[in-house]
Amino acid sequence: MKKYKFIDLFAGIGGFRVAFENIKTHKMECVFSSEIDKFACQVYEHNFGEYPSGDITKIDAKDIPDFDILAAGFPCQPFSYSGRLEGFEDKVRGTLFFDIVRILKEKKPKMFLLENVKGLKSHRKGETLKTIEEMLEKLGYTIYWDILDSYDFGVPQYRQRWFCVGFKNEIQFEFPKGLKGGAVLRDIVDINNNDESLKLSKFESDRIDFHFEQMKVSDEERIQHDSSKYAPNTKKGKFGVFSYLKPDKTLRFHIGDKAKTQIQEAYYSSLDSVSASIIATREPKLWDLKRRLSVDECRKLQGFPEWFEFNVSDAQAKKQLGNAVTVPVVQAIIEQMIYYYELNQPLANVEQLELQI
């Protein structure tokens, strides 16, 4: 069986690692991981038996074991474009992307996989992405990037993320299409979970009830709520609060009347809808069950396996899941990377690979 070694940078709770180790056609060995969040490190150690190395900015690339694939969901920080700076490293120095660059430059792995928010594509009118592309290409990598949605890979969550793959050789590559759309929250939610700590507040519950009560007696699709308690000089007091049940069975609360630009104030999914992207500061809520998703349901929303456990508070677990990658998406990309990499190897290497298998 062919073996690949990988490193897990900005590892979080280990979403990339789960994806790598889910692959059964090849032996995938993690030889190095790095993370600075102590709660994420606790979860990572609990599930993988290894406590990640600390701050990657303080780790010499020479001290990292040799590897074949680099994986990193790096934070997007402002990049410098000063004309006085010279050299490709100076253009990204001071950002965490610089640490990816210096490791790639030193270790020269066969492949890499990077992940970031969709907004990276348009950050600073595309200049940030242009800089990233230039840096990676100057290191000798053939790169491909695309925006993929978690929903297309079998989870009931709309979560668009930027992914970039790179190969040391000139290799043709296509991102996986993702043909598993159609899941809804009912597929992962335990409708018998009556945990009181998950219940919505009385304020939220009451205004959800008000929306549906008014729908029965009103021809209006957009329901206006009492905004008298808000100061008249605030947006809520001036323009009012409205709710609207969308055709996709999500309930949205907005600030602003019909003639105004709508400012979303709250978002509630339902058992028969798809969740908005789970992020560190927001957990999905269900209007029909009047509760938030549990940690276990959030785990499923991100495609983490049943065996994955959390040894931190529920609040920390949901925060870490919000920061994580969606496992099925990453796994599909890695499988595609390996397929195209091996497909493009010289015939002698392919014959040798067949003998190893």
Amino acid at 258: K
Contact predicate 157/326, CB 8 Å = yes
Please say if 76 is a catalytic residue.
yes
pLDDT for 92:
63
pLDDT for 238:
85
Report the predicted TM-score, pTM, of the whole model to 2 decimal places.
0.90
pLDDT for 228:
85
Angle (nearest 5°) at CA 112 between 11 and 4: 85
Question: Which helix (H) or strand (E) is 332 found in, with range?
Answer: helix 327-343
pLDDT for 64:
98
Of residues 41, 76, 164, 298, which has the active-site annotation?
76
pLDDT for 77:
62
d(CA 38, CA 306): 23
pLDDT for 40:
98
- Could you give the domains of the chain? 3-181+322-356 (3.40.50.150), 185-306 (no CATH)
Residues of the chain with pLDDT under 70: 76-94, 257-262, 347-357
Residue 232 to residues 63, 186, 225, 240, 325, Cα–Cα distance (Å): 61, 40, 15, 10, 42
Beta bridge partners of 7: 32, 70
Would you call 307 exposed, middle or buried from its count of C-beta atoms within 10 A (0-12, 13-18, 19+)?
Answer: exposed
